[in-house]
Chains A and B, each alone.
Chain A
Amino acid sequence: MALWEKRRSTLVLAGLVLFHVVLISVQVPQGAEKSAFERVVFFVYSPVQRLAAGTVRGVVSLWRGYFDLRGVRKENETLKRENFFLHQDVRFLKDRLGLYRSEAELQAILKDFRGTVLPARVIGIDSVNPHQAIVIDKGRLDGVAKDMAVCDMTGALVGRTIGPVSLKDAMVQLITDKDSSVGVVSAVDRLTGSLAGRSGPTCELRYVLASVTGGQVGEELLTTGTDRIYPAGIRVGRISSIEPNESSPIFRRIFVEPYFRFNTLDVVAVLAGAPGGGK
């Protein structure tokens, strides 16, 4: 007791430092799996985040809805025009799809797809690096589970759900995170590889052999579905540059600009089927 009175500060610091060292050490054998303690902390703090994000959104919406009405008419015209062209696109694509599949097959595909898309709001961003993860306002109660693909409003791939998934919130690992990996194929030259993030605004297409020809700047990349997390055919991004790989000459160094934009990442779509997008 006398030692506690005398060296209180030092003992508290030593205890807390020891606690953290143990906490960090126990995660090494666990790998990416989240500990129960981390899940509890997430469960406690995520409602606060939801409240804050909701308040900010409310204020912004109030401002945009009532005070900042300048340009609404012009914006409305632009949206009407875009809507018209989108309807045309959908009709055209349906017709094209009908050429390859029977009506019954087409209806079965569409039926499978309906109801599996879950809209969610982004309520938080990774506290250390915004390019790593986001938090969404849908959780286990809404049918969200680990390893579900997440897309933005235009259908471009954003990432996948990871733990911890709480009752009403979930964390999404972005494709720009450096530990993320997505199986992709280029739309024209069919270059296949693994898309890895760089914890920055761009990604890198890895494991494309230097001997493989094809692939050009501007070419679109789509998911292959081979990783059993992301369904095949989702738009991911465009090749922004191709360079020789100096550190590993047997591969090419291909940089990719993802389609999703941070500043417009307000609402996302969770593909809430089984992992991989299936039912």
Chain B
Amino acid sequence: MRESVAKDVLRAFLGTLAAVLVYSVAGASGPRLLIVFNAFSVVVLFFSVRRGEVFGALLGTLCGLAQDTFSIGVFGVAGLTKTLLGFWTGYISRRIDVAPFARNALFMLIMSVLEMILWVLITAIVRLETVSWHGGLILLQPVVTALVAGLLIVVERRVAARRSRGA
């Protein structure tokens, strides 16, 4: 029991490092990429579907706090939204079938949109301000994030299927 919790914490930490890596590569390639694509959300969505709600919540906390660290905003806002994103993504994906790509992408899109709404609301409450919309570009963020996370899951499943066939 204790071993499995320790393993989960270690996996979550490694997942967060992967998210920081993806975010840094995206930022170095072009600042606008960070507006249309949230690397931290992709990692949370991907691992929450695979490993369930508890792991999703833990990973959401770590990824959210990492995102907050690299931003001037209030520390903990992204942590809170991503914790809820990870938990509910893991929880719902265990109760409905999200295996087909279209259904999976739609599910990810809904979760990403909900995360963004929550983030906008919390930012409005905590900082008493509206979010910068970047000429509407930020509205693409849930779509691109959901698409990337959905594609990652498809690729991972195909690789796993090919491996099991080979074995």
Residues of chain A touching chain B, judged by Cβ–Cβ distance below 8 Å, are 8-9, 12-13, 16-17, 19-21, 23-24, 27, 34-35, 37-38, 41-42, 45, 48-49, 51-53, 55-57, 123-133, 135, 162, 171, 173, 177-179, 198-200, 262-263
Contacts and interface: CB of A to CB of B under 8 A. Distances in A.
B75 A53 contact: no
Interface of B: 16-17, 20-21, 23-25, 27-32, 34-35, 40, 53-54, 57-58, 60-61, 65-80, 83-84, 87, 91, 126, 129, 132, 134
Nearest to A43: B69
A123 B30 CA distance: 12
Contact of A127 (B17, B28, B70, B84): B70
Contacts of A42: 69-70
Nearest to A173: B72
For the residues of A in contact with B, the DSSP-based class is: helix
B25 A56 contact: yes
A204 to B, nearest CB: 13
Contact of A132 (B21, B58, B71, B77): B71
Top 10 nearest A-B pairs (CB, nearest first) are: A52-B24, A56-B28, A20-B80, A23-B76, A130-B31, A199-B132, A127-B70, A128-B71, A24-B76, A125-B27
Contacts of A34: 75
B125 to A, nearest CB: 10
Residue from B16, B54, B69, B78 with most neighbouring chain A CB atoms (10 Å): B69
Contact of A130 (B34, B75, B84): B34
Contacts of B40: 127
Given A13-B57, A24-B77, A128 B24 contact: no
Contacts of B31: 125, 130, 262-263
A127 B71 contact: yes
A9 B87 contact: yes
Contacts of A162: 72
A53 B25 CA distance: 6
Contacts of A173: 72
A178 to B, nearest CB: 7
